[in-house]
Amino acid sequence: MIGRSLILDTTVRFVFDAAVVLSVYLLFSGHNQPGGGFVGGLVAASAIALRYIASESDDVRFILGIRPATVLSMGLTLAAATSIAPLLFGLGPLDHQSVEWSVQVLGAVHLSTATVFDTGVYLIVIGLLLRIVEALGDDPDDVTDPVTGGPDEGRS
Amino acid sequence: MTLLLVVVAGLLCSCGTYLLLGRQLSRVVIGVGLIGHGANLLLLLSGGDGGNPAFAGGDADRFADPLPQAFVLTSIVITFGVIAFLLTLAYRSWLLTSNDEVENDVGDRLAERNSSRTGSERTAGDRNTDDRTADGRVRESVAGSASDDPAGDPASGGRG
Amino acid sequence: MNTLIALPVMLPLLGAGVAVGLVHRRVAQRLISVMILSVVTLSSVVMLIRVDHDGPFSVQVGDWASPIGISLVVDRFAAIMLVVASVMLLAVVVFAIGHPGAESGHGSFHPVYLILAAGIAMAFLTGDLFNLFVAFEVTLMASYVLITLGGRLDQVRNGMTYIVINLIASTVFLISLAFIYAATGTVNLADLHVKIADLPDGVRSGLAVLLMVVFGVKAALFPLFFWLPDSYPTASLPITAVFAGLLTKVGVYAIIRSQTLLFPIDTRPGGLLLLIAGLTMVVGVLGAISRNDMKRILSFHIVSQIGYMMMGLGLFTIAGLAGAVFYIVHHIVVKTSLFLVAGLVEQRAGSSELARISGVARLEPLLAVLFLVPALSLAGIPPFSGFVAKLALVEAGLSSQEYLIVVASLVVSLLTIYSMNKIWSNAFWGRIVTESNGSLAPARSGWVLMTGATATLVAISIAIAVWAGPLYAFSQRTAGDLIETHTYVERVLGP
Q: Are A150 and C138 within 8 A, CB to CB?
A: yes
C-alpha distances in Å from residue C382, one per residue of C318, C376, C403, C419: 23, 9, 21, 18
| Statement: residue C131 has pLDDT above 70 | yes
pLDDT (mean) for C52-74: 85
Q: Count the Cβ atoms, other than its own, within 10 Å of residue B119.
A: 7
Helix pair angle (A37-54, A113-137), 10° resolution: 30
Interface of C with A (CB under 8 A): 2-3, 5-7, 9-11, 13-14, 16-23, 59-63, 70, 72, 106-108, 111-112, 115, 119, 122, 134, 137-138, 140-142, 144-145, 149-151
What is the pLDDT, as a whole number, of residue C443? 67
What is the pLDDT, as a whole number, of residue C231? 83
Find chains touching chain A: ≥3 CB pairs under 8 Å. B, C
What is the pLDDT, as a whole number, of residue B55? 66
For an interface test with A, the pick among C9, C13, C74, C110 (most A C-beta atoms closer than 10 Å) comes out as C13
Nearest to C230 among B20, B107, B144 (CB): B107
Q: Are A152 and B81 within 8 A, CB to CB?
A: yes
Chain C residues touching B126 at Cβ < 8 A: 355
Q: Are A38 and B77 within 8 A, CB to CB?
A: yes
Burial class (CB in 10 A: 0-12, 13-18, 19+), C313: buried
Minimum Cα–Cα distance from A139: chain B residue: B160
Of A117, B55, A128, the residue nearest C61 (C-alpha): A117
Residue A102: strand, helix, or coil: strand
Q: Are A144 and B159 within 8 A, CB to CB?
A: yes
Q: Count the Cβ atoms, other than its own, within 10 Å of residue C21.
A: 20
What residues have CB less than 8 Å from A34, skipping those under 6 apart? none
What residues have CB less than 8 Å from C42, skipping those under 6 apart? none
| Statement: residue C34 has pLDDT above 80 | yes
| Statement: residue B71 has pLDDT above 70 | yes
Of C373, C370, C395, the residue nearest C382 (C-alpha): C373
Q: What digits encode the pLDDT tens for the residues C158-196?
A: 888 888 899 999 999 999 999 999 999 889 999 998 888
Chain C residues touching B71 at Cβ < 8 A: 130, 177, 181, 187
Q: Are C282 and C412 in contact (CB under 8 A)?
A: yes
What is the pLDDT, as a whole number, of residue B125? 40
Chain B residues touching C148 at Cβ < 8 A: 89, 92
C-alpha distances in Å from residue A23, one per residue of A18, A48, A62, A76, A127: 9, 11, 20, 19, 14
Chain B and chain C share a number of CB contacts under 8 A equal to: 160
| Statement: residue C41 has pLDDT above 90 | yes
Q: Which residues pair with C353 in a beta bridge?
A: C293
Chain C residues touching B146 at Cβ < 8 A: 353
d(CA C4, CA C305): 32
CA dihedral C397, C401, C405, C408 (to 10 degrees): 90
What is the pLDDT, as a whole number, of residue C88? 94
Q: Regarding the domain delimited by B2-55+63-97, which CATH topology (the fold level of the hierarchy) does it fall under?
A: Helix Hairpins (1.10.287)
Contacts 24+ apart (CB under 8 A), B5-10: B5/B41, B5/B44, B5/B45, B6/B42, B6/B45, B8/B38, B8/B41, B9/B38, B9/B39, B9/B41, B9/B42, B9/B45, B10/B38
Confidence of residue A3 (pLDDT cuts 50, 70, 90): low
pLDDT (mean) for A98-113: 71
Q: Are C141 and C227 in contact (CB under 8 A)?
A: no
| Statement: residue B153 has pLDDT above 90 | no
What is the pLDDT, as a whole number, of residue C432? 78
Chain A residues touching B84 at Cβ < 8 A: 128, 132, 148
Q: How far is C171 from chain A (nearest CA, A)?
A: 17
Nearest to A76 among C5, C17, C72 (CB): C17
Confidence of residue B160 (pLDDT cuts 50, 70, 90): very low
d(CA A124, CA A114): 15
Within an 8 Å CB–CB cutoff, is residue A71 touching chain C?
A: no
| Statement: residue B159 has pLDDT above 50 | no
| Statement: residue A153 has pLDDT above 80 | no
Within an 8 Å CB–CB cutoff, is residue A57 touching chain C?
A: no
Q: Are A151 and C23 within 8 A, CB to CB?
A: no
Where in chain A are the domains?
6-144
Q: Are C164 and B32 within 8 A, CB to CB?
A: yes
What residues have CB less than 8 Å from C228, skipping those under 6 apart? C220, C248, C299, C302, C303
Chain B residues touching C133 at Cβ < 8 A: 75
pLDDT (mean) for B101-127: 58
Within an 8 Å CB–CB cutoff, is residue A80 touching chain B?
A: no
* CA C489 remoteness from chain centre: 26
Q: Are A151 and C115 in contact (CB under 8 A)?
A: yes
Q: What digits encode the pLDDT tens for the residues C209-247?
A: 899 999 999 998 888 888 888 788 888 888 999 998 899
Q: Are A93 and C62 within 8 A, CB to CB?
A: yes
What is the pLDDT, as a whole number, of residue C125? 93
Residue A148: strand, helix, or coil: coil
Confidence of residue C37 (pLDDT cuts 50, 70, 90): very high
pLDDT (mean) for C272-300: 90
How are beta strands C57-60 and A107-112 bridged, if at all?
Answer: unpaired
Chain A residues touching C10 at Cβ < 8 A: 80, 83-84, 87, 93
Task: Look at A74 and C100; give whichever has higher pLDDT.
Answer: A74
Residue A54: strand, helix, or coil: helix
Chain A residues touching C36 at Cβ < 8 A: none
Q: Are C147 and C243 in contact (CB under 8 A)?
A: yes
Q: Are B84 and A144 within 8 A, CB to CB?
A: no
How are beta strands C57-60 and C71-74 bridged, if at all?
Answer: antiparallel
Where in chain B are the domains?
2-55+63-97, 105-119+134-144
| Statement: residue B141 has pLDDT above 50 | no
Q: What digits encode the pLDDT tens for the residues C440-479?
A: 555 677 888 889 999 999 999 999 999 999 999 999 999 9
d(CA C482, CA C76): 9
What residues have CB less than 8 Å from C242, skipping those under 6 apart? C88, C89, C92, C113, C116, C146, C336
pLDDT (mean) for C38-51: 94
Nearest to C144 among B75, B85, B144 (CB): B85
pLDDT (mean) for C388-417: 91
Q: What digits encode the pLDDT tens for the residues C312-365?
A: 998 888 999 999 999 999 999 999 999 999 988 888 887 888 888 888 888 888
Q: Are C19 and C114 in contact (CB under 8 A)?
A: yes
What is the pLDDT, as a whole number, of residue C89? 95
What is the pLDDT, as a whole number, of residue C78? 94
What is the pLDDT, as a whole number, of residue B117? 57
d(CA C119, CA C117): 5
Chain B residues touching C66 at Cβ < 8 A: none
How does C346-382 read in b/e, with b if 16+ C-beta sit within 10 Å?
bbbbbbbbbbbbbbbbebbeebbebbbbbbbbbbbbe
Confidence of residue A62 (pLDDT cuts 50, 70, 90): low
**Torsion angles phi and psi, residue C128, rounded to 5:** -145, 125
pLDDT (mean) for B108-126: 55
Nearest to C347 among B43, B71, B151 (CB): B151
Mean pLDDT of chain B: 70
Burial class (CB in 10 A: 0-12, 13-18, 19+), C161: middle
Q: What digits encode the pLDDT tens for the residues A9-20?
A: 888 888 888 999
Task: Look at A74 and B62; give whichever has higher pLDDT.
Answer: A74
Nearest to B96 among C100, C153, C181 (CB): C153
